Chains A and B, each alone.
Chain A
């Protein structure tokens, strides 16, 4: 819980990690990929305030003590959601597996939700694994990374026929929250790997599932927003937007927030720190302090106390069925919905 200027905010961080990218965990022969991946993330950390930068050694593998301090003690986070990312082609024990996350979650009952994962290229065995994981970890969500490499393939799409049984299985098992993270590769390599159209198709086919698009589809914010106006079950995950822009590019941050509030709306935006890339503390405090920098932003929707409460925690709590203390809730009709009337004009205009 974060308290500021007499207001109390329930904080749910919808995107956190507890990874091991230390050299001991690099797959032999694939060291350059394992090293390149974590160094790239480390560069992203430099986009945050200087006093939150870590040395690469700590960044490769931070401790449980670091996690508890950064997320719970100083980071104001009431409940965090682990987004599991495997990358086993590069990291021997996986980068950030469900198992590793769940071990930490078990030590903090009620404060950490562990999301699973699946990969359609695992076929039948993958479906069985998903069933086991759902039971073992009481999964309410999964994180999907479509650019993951697997046996010579450099990615997959939610439109693939092989992905459909997995989405059906999620629906059947009550795994309602599908976090999708796009990366730079996908088969075939000549297509735009960041195009979120496959999420659009899946969201239409599976209306009971919620699709949370991580880093709001960056670098394709426009494609993401056009889709989100048309699909009621598509949400914006703010990871990277806050961490990568709020400090480094404040005017871009203001524009992106304005566009998201306009197209997607404050009811469908979810705070995510992407810890350990960035610590939640400065992001939570920054989102509460933030407003548009000047009057040139006057035709974007207002960013109110209600907007902040929803984005920082109440929206995610609703998706995950987390019980919010009554004094931290909002009345049902608080806030401003997105300007959906423009949605129909998107087709063919750009």
Chain B
């Protein structure tokens, strides 16, 4: 039997593809109800009515798929609220359709390429945080780039890196290099400082975007003031 806690756990595996953060910690779930018969109704809310339709669609579709995978679940309804393309997106997601079905004639392809692009950005940002922590702890660039996947810390940042590598088809077995370029090649020790310069910019961009999104969501739905995320 499905209960609300399981549904929320499932929703916690759904990421905002643009920010690479779970939609639960971003507070994008405005309500989540489970009927006695196991039917699930999830409502999603976003920081602005004009958030990009492609990312909005991915979150709604991913949320529906994640909940439908739960054992014993009944009817699953996911509704994107207060969005200017909510009607189109909800109709397509509700019938298990593709993004192109929501916007006939307005798309060229699916959303795989978009998703992959943001997985690459997220991997760069997350790897850079792990590398900087090692350097701050006294490791040399040679020691950092010699690390293997098996040496990565047992924490959410490293776990997410490995998940992203899996999505991107980059080997993530214990003996694979811990820090890689988008093509899976290891980062060379001599390039680490320059790579970090670039990675820091990608990270700043993602974090700043996330900060603005949180602020706008808080204002839009009158959510209590959060403490600034450690930047």
Question: Which A residues lie at the B interface, using CB under 8 A?
Answer: 32-33, 36-37, 39-40, 43-44, 46-47, 154, 183-185, 187-194, 218-222, 225-226, 244-245, 248-252, 254-256, 259, 263, 342, 345-346, 348-350
Contacts and interface: CB of A to CB of B under 8 A. Distances in A.
B155 interface: no
B209 A219 contact: yes
B194 interface: yes
A331 B61 CA distance: 58
Interface string B172-214: 0000000001100000000100110111111011011101100
A216 to B, nearest CB: 10
Contact of B215 (A40, A188, A194, A249): A249
A349 B181 contact: yes
Contacts of B212: 47, 218-219, 244-245, 249
A40 B216 CA distance: 8
A77 to B, nearest CB: 25
B194 A345 contact: yes
A237 B137 CA distance: 38
B215 A47 contact: yes
A221 B201 contact: yes
A227 to B, nearest CB: 12
Contacts of B171: none
A190 B109 contact: yes
Contact of A187 (B106, B113, B228): B106
Most B CB within 10 A of own CB, among A32, A46, A190, A245: A190
Contacts of B207: 252, 255
Of the candidates B50, B181, B182, the one having the most CB atoms from chain A within 10 angstroms of its own CB is B50
Find the residue from B106, B200, B207, B216 having the highest chain A CB count within 10 A. B106
Given A47-B212, A349-B195, 5 more contacts: A188-B109, A251-B228, A252-B204, A342-B198, A349-B198
10 contacts: A40-B50, A188-B108, A190-B100, A221-B204, A249-B211, A259-B200, A263-B201, A345-B191, A348-B181, A350-B120
Contacts of B197: 342, 345
Contacts of A245: 208, 211-212
B50 A43 contact: no
Contact of A40 (B18, B48, B53, B201): B48
A221 B52 contact: no
Given A220-B205, A244-B212, A252-B208, A350 B199 contact: yes
Contacts of A187: 106
Contacts of A225: 201
B84 A36 contact: yes
Interface of B: 18, 48-54, 84, 99-100, 103, 106-111, 113-114, 117, 120-121, 124, 181-182, 191, 194-195, 197-202, 204-205, 207-209, 211-212, 215-216, 219-220, 228, 231
A10 to B, nearest CB: 29
Given A190-B110, A249-B228, A185 B53 contact: yes
Given A189-B54, A248-B215, A345-B198, A36 B208 contact: no
Nearest to A193: B52
A213 to B, nearest CB: 13
Given A183-B50, A221-B205, A252 B198 contact: no
A43 B110 CA distance: 32
Nearest to B204: A255
A33 B84 contact: yes
Nearest to B82: A36
Contact of A218 (B54, B114, B209, B215): B209
Given A46-B219, A248-B215, A36 B201 contact: no
B51 to A, nearest CB: 6
A226 B219 CA distance: 32
A300 to B, nearest CB: 10
B84 to A, nearest CB: 6
A102 to B, nearest CB: 28
B93 to A, nearest CB: 15
B211 A36 contact: no
Contact of B49 (A36, A46, A191): A36
A217 B18 CA distance: 15
Contacts of A194: 52
Contacts of A183: 50
Contacts of B202: 222, 350
Nearest to A192: B114
A188 B198 CA distance: 29
Given A188-B108, A350-B182, A221 B54 contact: no
A156 to B, nearest CB: 13
A190 B108 contact: yes
Contacts of A254: 231
Contact of A255 (B18, B109, B208): B208
Q: Which 4 A-B pairs have the closest CB atoms?
A: A251-B231, A219-B209, A188-B108, A36-B49
